[in-house]
Structures are given as structure tokens and as C-alpha cells.
Amino acid sequence: MPAAAHSASAPHESPVTQGTFRRAVVVGGNRIPFARTGGAYTKSSNQDMLTAALDGLIARFGLQEERIGEVAAGAVLKHSRDFNLTREAVLGSALSAETPAYDLQQACATGLETVLGLANKIKLGQIDSAIAGGVDSASDAPIAVSEGLREVLLDLNRAKSLPERLKVLSRLRPKDLAPDAPNTGEPRTGLSMGEHQALTTAQWKISREAQDEIAFNSHHNLAAAYERGFFDDLVTPYRGLSRDSNLRPDTSMEKLATLKPVFGKSLGAEATMTAGNSTPLTDGASTVLLGTEEWADARGLPKLAVVVDGEAAAVDFVHGKDGLLMAPAFAVPRLLARNGLSFEDIDFFEIHEAFAGTVLSTLAAWEDEEFGRTRLGLDGAFGKIDRAKLNVNGSSLAAGHPFAATGGRIVASLAKMLHDNGPVDGRPARGLISICAAGGQGVVAILEAYSAPEGR
Amino acid sequence: MTTEQPLILGELPSLSKLYVNAAATAARRRVLGFQAASALPHGSHEVRGVRADVANLTAYQHLIGETASDALPAGFIHALAFPVAMSVLNRDDFPLPLLGMIHLKNHVGQFRAVQFSEPLDVRSWAEDMRGHRAGTQLDVVAEVRSSDDGALLWRGVSTYLAKGVFLPGVDKAATAPAPADFTAPAPTAVWQLGVDTGRLYAAVSGDFNPIHLSLLSAKALGLPRSIAHGMYLASRALADVGSVKSEAFRWDVIFEAPVFLPARVALEIGTIHSASGSWERSDYVAWNPRSGRRHFSGSVTAL
């Protein structure tokens, strides 16, 4: 692995996370079940859902009237009126009104980035406690007026006399009245995320069957986790929903095989991406409670895991040769190298299933000799992960993917898995999170089961 | 309350039908003459297994300024119980004219958080008809219990005035003490209420009383303009008190000058904490920022 070190953005003499910094502990998490768009949360706003997730967290950990160091959350699809979304959710929650909050947006990596940013503040000693989160509604999405109408309205407001106003109004054309709805298209390519991934999926020659298998495992693993009660202390019911409404426990490879391709149809027979192996639009919210060891101890709260380190990467998907969602393929080798780790040191892999093809393309890149040599600067392939350690409690294909809420879902679930797992070969269990995002970005992180430092 | 068995209604009565019936009753009484009884009917009305409609709940929460949580706002429960209360006032043996009654004050006890999915039993009756310097007043009581275990979850007492109605055998009250002078404090919020405020609240609460709906319908009942529902105003004040309040609380409001729409309403909310720092009470008062007249005042108190 040391060979990958030279491709890291900045070389380090020693792992930075082992210095004198305090540890940022994941105390727990709470989310509301994720709902398919147009379902149970159709009329709920981002603020409603984020507040619901927050209030569930507050109730679970007894944080009523508590002043938290800082709360950070965000939404990808955001109304302009929600400029202070997280602070408004805090004010509507049972937390102390003296809890500061800020909004963050990094597309689908929003949730994980709030965890990393707040964990860093905790490590640096700036705050002792924090709540990270994210929310998205594809149902209650913002719709803007067209550029033409917007310009007319603004000019109308500036016009001083009636003739001036009439002149401004005369610029209005019927097409200006059509609203501007959000879409998942990339601004620079005009291709939707699914179309981008379809190209990447074909580039890495990922089969339809392999994608359907990822989807099948996701549904069955998530259903089994619910059956076991794994989510009992991670999810609070909302609006009559107590499980993710996209979950299909009874899906089968045969059923998945019957679905018609929805992305990459121009590829003809090579089109492999269906509604079954792509995530649907979803509504939902998640939160994660972070703190120092002392802060958790003082309140008798659990310490599930430690946020070890994180890394962001981006690819030139516009003019370069990398797929839109391939940034984690670069971020993970850099992160592991910086921490002196390899795939063998990881016990749980949480690779966000934007599309089954994304997961498989990323794995294929890591297993590819040429990619390892030419793109990662290694002697050969980066490595192969043990599939038995991949998304063992299901992921976004089954749970759904309310963009900014996915990071919080994964961090809280992984922290609990690491805690429940116990030590591996005498060391704390370790997990890797990988999340791809629009704009050719990716954010990845390492979590480790909490273990008391020596001498404590 | 009465010990008689309640009259069980099969479902929540339709408020629009009750208002139509009330208008018809008023007309019939005017034409045929009506010898009002000097006592209230004894019975209570009850509807069992009432469930909140979640879409309506969300619309109500957004209109009032509450976050759309799964818990029913105390004002929403009032609206849920209101048709049962109205059915009591709509009985043929109810001595006072329903239309035109003025909501003087309201008291609510919320004993625990009520989830929208819970089946509820709603019972209502009228009691304590008594004199008022301007007519006759009475209390309409509503109790909301869990259909599962019968526990009392919410209790509301609404005091109404039938203005200008003096019944034989009901003593006229002595002249009320002069109201204390009101000096407007610095506002903590200002509400902009559009002319459609009454219609919007009617849509989520079902209270289509014509005095709240439009200029014309209000004029038909002798008002210069439509007025905001008292419970809309009180519920917004409750929402503005916010999440600081405990799960169980007492919520009081006294209505004074009506809010003619459209309107700007100034509001002041003061919070009182106990020595240990926990929330004890929030007091609120609202007034017309131009005239300085007080619209309503009240408090929310930890139980």
C-alpha cells in the first residue's frame, strides 16, 4: 500500500489522526424511515422532516433543552426560503434555542461531510458536542419561475413609472410562464446522473446480472436487519411509516430480471440499468450525534465509534476519462494510504448504492491493473474487497436515497455495526464509507469501533 | 358534568350542515316564535374512534406555523372536537341562538402528547349557563380520551356569549369591572394576516362560520368585515411559544377586540423559567399596532 502514498494530495510524515487531537465519538443516530417520492411524506417539507429526525434523536438521548456545540445539516433540493434550514429546524426542536447551526451542501455527500466537518471541530477542541444531518424531499421540491419571468419581475420591481412598468411587462412571452423544475442533469453535460452512470457501467463492462445481484442483496440485507430489530434504535416512525417504503423483502433475481432498462437505452443490447438496480427518488431525513468521550460520559451516553479520518476527491468527468460517480475510486486509496491501512484492515464496507453500477464500477476500477498503475500511480491493482463485508445491512437501493440524508443513515448504522461486532484480531472493528456525488465528487471516511484509550 | 349516558353519534357531524341547520333554526324560531327554555339540555354527545386525517393535519400545522410533527397541536384537537360541540349547540332544545355567539375565552388542558394515529373518543356538552352584562354566557366542554384505555388526553372549555339574549330565570350579571388600561409592550413578533386568513383556517379546521369567510357573509351577520377565528389566533400564539413547552400544559386565552381582516397584529411573548431553569410558563398578548387595542391575551403553563 505505501506505493499509493505518493498519489495522496499532501504527503504526511505520520498519520495526522494519531496526534494530540481529541477523539470525536459517534454516540448514536436517528432517522425517519425513507419514503418513496409521492408517498407518506408528500406534504412534509425539508424542515418538517429534519425536525422530526432531530426530535427523535433528542428523545432517544435525552437532549431536551441541551445546548449542543453546533448542528450542521443540509438539503440538496432546497427552497430559497430554506436558506437557514438547519437553524430553523433547531428552533423548532426541543434543543436549547441557544444551539448554533449551519447549512452545508455537497450534493449526495452532504450528510457525510457534515459528520466530518463537525468531527474535526470536536477533535480540535472547538466544540464538545455536535449533531450532523441531512434531509431531502423529491416530493416537496422547489419549483422556480423561468429565467425570463424572473428577470421581468425583478425589473418590474425596479421600474418607477407606469409606462416603464408596461414596457417591462411587454417583454414577457408565453414560454416564460413555464416553471423551472429541478432535475438530476449535470449542468455541464446535460446528461442525467443515470445516463452518466450508464456510460460508466458500460465502460467497465458491468453485467446486468451483477447489478441485479447487488440490488437483490441490498433488499434482503435491509429486510433481515429490520427483522432482527437492528433499526429499533436508529429509526423513529413518521407519518405512519415505520420502515423504508422502497424496501421489497420479497424481491428475487427473477423479478429484477424482468425490468426494462431505463438508463443508457441508446446503448441498445448493452443497456443494463433498470428501476430495480437504480435508486428511486426518495424523501427522508437523518441525524447523527457526535461528542467527545467526556461529553458522552458526563451524560451516560453510549460511545459507539470514533470518526477516524475522511477524504474528498473529484474527477474531471466533463473532459476527462472518468465517470461522473467515480471520485471515490480515487479518494479511498488516498485515505487508506494516509492512515497506513489496506482493504484487509477493513471489516465493513459501506459503499453508497447510487446505482448498482456505481458500486460495481468502483470495485472494478480497484481490481484493475491498468487503473491502479496509470490512474492511482500504484504497481498494480489497488485491491479486491471481500464481498461478504459489503453493505451487510442493505444500502440505498433498498432503503432509498434522500440525497443529503444518506450520509447520516450510513454513519449511524455503521457506528452501531462496529460497536456490536466487537474487536477483530485484538483491534477495534473498522469500517469504510464511500459516497459518490454530483459534480464528479466523492467523500469517503473511516470509522472505528470505540475502545477506551489505554490507561483509562 | 351530567351523569346521563351520552348520545353516541356514528361519525363526526358535518359542520357545514350544522351551520345551515343553525340558520334554518334561527329563521324558524323568528317566524314561529320560540319560547326559550331557561336551562341547558342535559345530555352530552360523543363520537368514538375519531382519527385525525394526516393530510389535513399537515395543512393545519403549516398554516398555524407548527412543524409537521406526528403529535397533534392542542388547537388541532379543538378543531377535531368542534363538530361534536357544535352538534350540542344545534339541538332543538338548546335555548340560545348558535349563529352570532361570541367566543369570550378558551381553556385547554393537554395532559400528554397525542399522536395522529391514535383513535380518540370525543365527548362534548354545555354547562353553566349564566348571566353576562351583555347577554347570556355558557361553557361548552369537550373531552378527548384515548379509545384504547379511556385516559383523558385533552380537555377544552370554551366560553361563549349570546349577545343581547336575556333568558327568564338567568340572572343578569352585575356590571363588569372596568378593564385595566392596556399599554402595548415592545412586540416580539408581528403577524401579517391576509384577507383570506379566515377562509384558509376554515379549510383546515372545518369551521365555516360565515363571519370568518368573506366581507359579504360577515356583513350579512352584521359585521363590517370578516374577522379572524379566535382559535386561529390563539393557536398561532401557541405555535409561537414553540417547542420550549412541556408535553403536558394548560393553555388559556381571553379574546377581546376582534381582528378584522386584513390585519397586522403585534404580539409579545414572555417566558418564565423556574429557579432550576426549566420552562414554567409563557404569557402572550396581541394587539392592533395602530390603535393599540388589545385583541387577545393568555398563557401556556406547564402541568
Q: Do B67 and A48 count as a contact with CB atoms less than 8 A apart?
A: yes
Please name the helix (run of DSSP H) or strand (run of DSSP E) that holds residue A415, with its range, or none.
helix A406-421
How much is the average pLDDT of A318-333?
A: 94
Cα dist. B296→B199, B284, B299 in Å? 20, 8, 11
Q: Which of A339, A315, A352 lies closest to A446, judged by CA? A: A339
Identify the DSSP state of A374: I
The CA-CA-CA angle for residues A259, A262, A266, to 5°, reads: 125
Q: Which residue of A has its CA nearest to B53?
A: A239
In this complex, is the C-beta atom of B276 within 8 Å of any C-beta atom belonging to chain A?
no
Check: CB of residue A257 under 8 Å from CB of residue A409: no
Q: Do B67 and A92 count as a contact with CB atoms less than 8 A apart?
A: yes
CA B275 to the chain's CA centroid: 33
In this complex, is the C-beta atom of B23 within 8 Å of any C-beta atom belonging to chain A?
no
How much is the average pLDDT of A303-331?
A: 96
Handedness of CA A169, A174, A175, A180 (dihedral sign): positive
Check: CB of residue A432 under 8 Å from CB of residue A454: no
* pLDDT for residue B35: 67
Report the length, in residues, of chain A.
Answer: 456
How much is the average pLDDT of A221-237?
A: 98
In this complex, is the C-beta atom of B69 within 8 Å of any C-beta atom belonging to chain A?
yes
Walk along chain B (303 residues) and give the pLDDT tens digit of each residue.
Answer: 445 788 888 888 888 788 888 877 877 777 777 666 778 888 899 999 999 999 999 999 999 999 999 999 999 999 999 999 999 998 888 888 888 789 999 999 999 999 999 999 999 999 999 999 989 999 999 999 999 999 999 999 999 999 888 887 777 666 666 667 889 999 999 999 999 999 999 999 988 888 888 888 888 878 889 999 999 999 999 999 998 888 999 999 999 999 999 999 999 999 999 998 889 999 999 999 999 999 999 999 999
C-alpha cell at A351: 459503499
* Confidence category of residue A3, pLDDT binned at 50, 70, 90: very low
CATH 3.40.50.800 corresponds to the domain A23-142+186-449: no
Q: Which of A395, A351, A305 lies closest to A29, judged by CA? A: A305
Check: CB of residue A365 under 8 Å from CB of residue A371: yes
Q: Where are the domains of chain A?
A: 23-142+186-449
Check: CB of residue A268 under 8 Å from CB of residue A10: no
The 10 Å CB-count burial string (b at 16+, else e) for B32-63 is eeeebeeebbebbbbbbebebebebbbbbbbb
ipTM of the complex: 0.87
Of the candidates A196, A220, A352, A401, the residue annotated as catalytic is A401
Handedness of CA A368, A370, A376, A380 (dihedral sign): positive
* pLDDT for residue B39: 83
How much is the average pLDDT of A121-135?
A: 98
* Confidence category of residue A269, pLDDT binned at 50, 70, 90: confident
Of B55, B116, B243, the CB nearest to A93: B243
Closest approach of A280 to chain B, Cα-based (Å): 23
* pLDDT for residue B176: 65
Q: pTM of the prediction?
A: 0.91
Please count the helices (runs of H) and the strands (runs of E) in chain B.
6, 11
Backbone dihedral angles phi then psi of residue B176, each to the nearest 5 degrees: -65, 150
* pLDDT for residue A199: 93
Query: Which stretches of chain B are assigned E, i.e. beta strand?
Result: 7-9, 45-50, 102-110, 120-132, 135-146, 152-163, 189-193, 249-255, 263-273, 279-287, 294-302
Spell out which residues of chain B touch residue A58, defining contact as CB-CB under 8 Å: none
